[in-house]
Amino acid sequence: MNILDTYVRQAPSPQHALDLFANEWSSAMPEGLGITAMPGTAKLFDDPRIAWADARLGFAGRRIVELGPLEGGHSYMMQQRGAASITAIEANSRAYLKCLIVKEVLGLDKVSFQLGDFDAYLATKPPRADICIASGVLYHSVDPVMLLSSLARLTDKLFLWTHYYDESILRNQPTLNKYFEPTESLLISGTYFAAANKHYETALEWQGFCGGPATYAKWLSRDAIIHFLKSAGYTTIDISFDQPTHANGPAFAICATR
């Protein structure tokens, strides 16, 4: 590569910054930025799941920890809704750099994007958070029970959006089910539940890959997740966006408080 090809010869524009990661974005940007070509398609900067979490948990004035911000869409929404601070921890270095682009383009002065593994961060027993947002991360964990345990120590107000394992549903989705190993039994707070490892396989070949740091992740069942939260003392558990036929596997959202 000729180093001079890395220079931008037009007037500054958010488009130039977004184009540094061309074909790697998942998100569509907010309107009104003068962007001529949206980098992605997912509406993560206008996500009804986060609006629902705000209605249940109340972001205004809160200190929020966000796990896996991906491209900063949910971080942006939380700042727009009055969060006092958002600490957003991202392990994927390319996603982290995209978050920094978004921070500059959208002026996210309430957000601190931090590069590192959130499991390792949670293991340091950081200060408790008013709210934790864990959207799209539980089903990318190799030890989701440990992750849930860490979240229970971190906060009394928790938002989760996640896929979950349901053999009766997935057996009717053969193109997805082929990525799962046979089920195993996990003991969670005194009760056994089915779980299964899912392998990423060819998804790892995309530079914009937005899964976990291993070649596989463990999916818990819907009942296992709810059971854990109840056992951890969360007395109010609201469920929405319940999509058992989601194209990428059954999914749901939870706001849990205690």
| All structural domains of the chain with their residue ranges | 136-258
Contact residues for 3 (Cβ-Cβ < 8 A; gap 6+):
none
Contacts of 72 (CB under 8 A, 6+ apart): 88, 98, 99, 102, 103, 106, 108, 111, 113
| pTM more than 0.85 | yes
Res 229: pLDDT: 97
If you count DSSP H runs as helices and E runs as strands, how many of each does the chain have, helices first?
9, 10
What is the reported pLDDT for 210?
A: 87
pLDDT category at 34 given cuts 50, 70, 90 is confident
Flag whether pLDDT at 1 surpasses 80.
no
- Per-residue model confidence as pLDDT tens digits over 159-189: 999 999 999 999 999 999 999 999 999 999 8
CB 224 within 8 A of CB 168: no
Q: What are phi and psi of 110, to 5 degrees?
A: -95, -5
Task: Return the pLDDT at 128.
Answer: 97
